[in-house]
């Protein structure tokens, strides 16, 4: 992205329409441009062959169309691909492609770093530097889609579960969701998109009003306040009962099922008592629990629960009528745990500077 000109990817359909109307052009120009960007996936304005000479010049004069700068790409044995991008201001972000039998899923980053400070997470170690822009978010998906174009495949699912707290970059994330969902663009079905939050209660309630049928996931990770506050500092601000109350409100308003994510940390939150307490907490809520094996982080002492113990935890939930699955791990061999590649890259950069 050129520092002087805004990126063309930084505009939603509505915003582009407003722009073209404001310069005395036609509203439908926006749709034409979006089709070029997200359907034809052109990499230069010159490829937009149905624009007038003057229209083309206006675009060139006022916008940039730069992609993200790829710093590294790491492929795992299970098909997972991890991308490391360098942003214009020298910061790094990560994006992950996961290949499932139901399609290709992209895990998108929403912020440079994160302020939520969960004790087990590699992303939060250095705090938040800044929010990502709309362009920086959509270009992650577009980059992966361009790779998949070579295999005649498409991005079918998007999860906003990369680095950052999406609800701490709320407006941009909503603009991102609208943009990737747009029917004459990437056309990723709302039901195939998931946004994950650590539990920012006011935003969960606000999200209930959002017009698209996006899936909402809540990172719960503990069944009571004492334990949750120990591992997730956000719980001190928004305790469990408020999160559950917001989720109930959301479910009632939207009629949608919510997913609770629960990472299994050995000896911390994976006991039978925790499973029982979790079952009790979620009883009667239209919800689904995703039990996630912890992806061990070099700088943290947490360990992943063994598979057998995870199955036992699952069995307790199942017995008490709670829908759950034990999620598979992806890309273990390529530092797929969020933020690890970025952290590694920053460490290298610091070491270089110190030399
Ligand atoms: N901030 C948002 C989204 C980004 S994190 C949230 O908290 O939901 C996406 C998910 O990955 C969260 O459930 C988070 O708790 C989890 N996570 C973080 N570090 C992890 C690790 N090392 N192994 C497994 N899951 C992790």
**242-280 residue pLDDT tens:** 999 999 999 999 999 999 999 999 999 999 999 999 999
Nearest to 216 by CA among 187, 195, 200: 195
- Determine phi and psi for 88, rounding to 5 degrees: -60, -30
Number of H helices, E strands in the chain: 12, 12
Tens-place pLDDT, residues 88-124: 999 999 999 999 999 999 999 999 999 999 999 998 8
Taking the C-alpha atoms of residue 129 and residue 337, their distance in angstroms, rounded to an integer, is 19
Q: Whose CA is nearest to atom 9 of ligand 1?
A: 161
For residue 242, is it within any domain? Answer: yes
User: Number of folded domains in the chain?
Assistant: 2
Q: Can you say how many angstroms the Cα of residue 186 is from the centroid of all Cα atoms in its chain?
A: 16
Give distance in angstroms: CA of 178 to centre of ligand 1: 23
- Answer whether residue 186 shows pLDDT above 80: yes
- Ligand 1 pocket test: which of 108, 116, 195, 261 has the largest number of ligand atoms within 8 Å of its C-beta? 261
- Answer whether residue 193 shows pLDDT above 80: yes
For residue 205, is it within any domain? Answer: yes
Does 105 lie in the same domain as 221? yes
For residue 51, is it within any domain? Answer: yes
Inter-residue contact 325 to 111 (CB < 8 Å): no
Inter-residue contact 120 to 300 (CB < 8 Å): yes
Supply the range of the domain harboring residue 25.
8-62
Nearest to 329 by CA among 301, 306, 345, 299: 306
Tell me the pairing of strands 258-264 and 215-219. parallel
Does 309 lie in the same domain as 167? yes
Taking the C-alpha atoms of residue 65 and residue 59, their distance in angstroms, rounded to an integer, is 9
Is ligand 1 within 6 A of the CB of residue 118?
yes
For residue 3, is it within any domain? Answer: no
Nearest to 248 by CA among 214, 216, 277: 216
Does 313 lie in the same domain as 283? yes
Does 155 lie in the same domain as 21? no
Give distance in angstroms: CA of 161 to centre of ligand 1: 7
Is ligand 1 within 6 A of the CB of residue 261?
yes
pLDDT at 125: 82
* Residues in Cβ contact with 211 at an 8 Å cutoff, skipping those fewer than 6 apart: none
Does 75 lie in the same domain as 56? no
For residue 259, is it within any domain? Answer: yes
Q: Whose CA is nearest to atom 1 of ligand 1?
A: 165
For residue 159, is it within any domain? Answer: yes
Would you place residue 328 in the very low, low, confident or very high pLDDT band (cuts 50, 70, 90)? low
Domain boundary among 22, 47, 62: 62
């Amino acid at each position: 992205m050129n520092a002087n000109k805004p990126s063309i990817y930084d505009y939603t359909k509505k915003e582009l329409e407003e722009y073209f109307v404001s310069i005395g052009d036609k509203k439908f120009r926006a749709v034409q441009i979006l089709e070029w960007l997200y359907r034809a996936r052109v990499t230069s304005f010159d490829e937009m062959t149905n624009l007038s000479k003057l229209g083309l010049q206006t675009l060139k004069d006022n916008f940039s169309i730069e992609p993200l700068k790829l710093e590294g790409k790491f492929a795992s044995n299970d098909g997972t691909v991890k991308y490391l991008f360098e942003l214009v201001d020298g910061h790094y972000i990560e994006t992950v492609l996961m290949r499932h039998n139901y399609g290709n899923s992209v895990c998108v980053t929403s912020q440079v770093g994160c302020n939520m400070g969960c004790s087990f997470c590699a992303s939060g170690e250095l705090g938040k530097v800044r929010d990502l822009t709309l362009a920086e978010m959509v270009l992650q998906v577009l980059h992966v889609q361009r790779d998949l174009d070579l295999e005649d495949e498409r991005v079918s699912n998007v999860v906003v579960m990369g680095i950052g707290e999406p609800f701490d970059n709320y407006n941009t994330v909503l603009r991102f969701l609208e943009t990737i969902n747009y029917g004459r663009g990437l056309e990723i079905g709302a039901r195939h998109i998931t946004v994950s939050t650590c539990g920012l209660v006011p935003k969960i309630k606000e999200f209930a009003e959002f017009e698209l049928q996006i899936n909402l996931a809540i990172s719960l990770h503990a069944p009571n306040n004492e334990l949750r506050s120990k591992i997730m500092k956000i719980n001190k601000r928004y305790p469990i009962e408020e999160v559950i109350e917001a989720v109930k409100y959301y479910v009632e308003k939207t009629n949608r099922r919510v997913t609770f994510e629960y990472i299994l940390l050995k000896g911390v939150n994976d006991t039978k008592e925790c499973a029982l307490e979790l079952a009790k907490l979620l009883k009667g809520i239209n919800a689904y629990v995703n039990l996630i094996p912890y992806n061990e982080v070099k700088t943290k002492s947490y360990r992943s629960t063994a598979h057998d113990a995870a199955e036992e935890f699952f069995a307790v939930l199942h017995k008490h009528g709670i829908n759950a699955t034990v999620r598979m791990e992806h890309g273990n061999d390529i530092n797929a745990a969020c933020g690890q590649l970025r952290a590694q890259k920053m460490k290298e950069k610091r070491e270089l500077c110190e030399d």
